[in-house]
Amino acid sequence: MLYLSIDHPAISCHDVDRQVEWYCRNLGMKLIATNSQTPPSVMVGYDGEAAMIELMPVKDAGPNPAQTPRFQPGLRHLALRVGDFQDAYRRLKALGVKFLFEPVEAIGGGTIVSFRDPEGNELQIVQRTGKMK
């Protein structure tokens, strides 16, 4: 097979180190790789190379992600699958994460809710139920 999977999305960050700390503390990710530059580009994620996000320094001016309309063209959010939605939701709430709406049914089944990282990028947690069609 030519195409195997999605390797990683990339998020440009004003403060990569702060984002790494937030993703690791709040989402249970680990630092997987870094280019050791200042500021660094890094890979964070789960279980080695199974699910990764690249966090890289901003190099070009652009709009604040939190002020970008949620449904304009382009990549709009990054969803993280969880095994226990209620536990993950409670944990994020206890950590002070502000949600964009109350949990709702996900397309294809399950429960989903959105929130933002410290730089305004939209993230979601989703627990899938049943088989997707």
When pLDDT is averaged across residues 47-59 and rounded to a whole number, the result is 88
Contact yes or no for 26/49 (Cβ under 8 A):
no
Q: Quick check: 44 and 55 in contact, CB under 8 A?
A: yes
Q: Give how many domains the chain has, as a whole number.
A: 2
Percentage of the chain beyond pLDDT 70 is 97
Residue 64 included in any domain = no
Listed residues 59, 81, 106: the one ending a domain: 59
Has residue 23 been placed in a domain? yes
Is residue 54 predicted with pLDDT exceeding 70? Answer: yes
The answer to whether residue 67 sits within a structural domain is: no
Beta bridge partners, 112, equal 104, 126
Report which of 120, 124, 131 is spatially closest to residue 81, judged by C-alpha positions. Answer: 124
Bridge partner list, 124: 79, 114
What pLDDT, on the 0 to 100 scale, is given for residue 133? 66
The residue range of the domain holding 13 is 1-59
At 70-102, the pLDDT tens digits run 998 988 999 999 999 999 999 999 999 999 999
CA 54, 55, 59, 62 torsion-angle sign: positive
Residues 51 and 86 in one domain: no
What CATH number is attached to the domain comprising 43? Answer: 3.10.180.10
Above pLDDT 90, what percent of the chain? 79
**Alpha-carbon span 93 to 28, nearest angstrom:** 15
Say if 52 falls within a structural domain.
Answer: yes
Do 55 and 102 reside in the same domain of the chain? no
- Write the pLDDT tens digit of every residue in 113-125: 999 999 999 999 9
Q: What's the pTM? A: 0.91
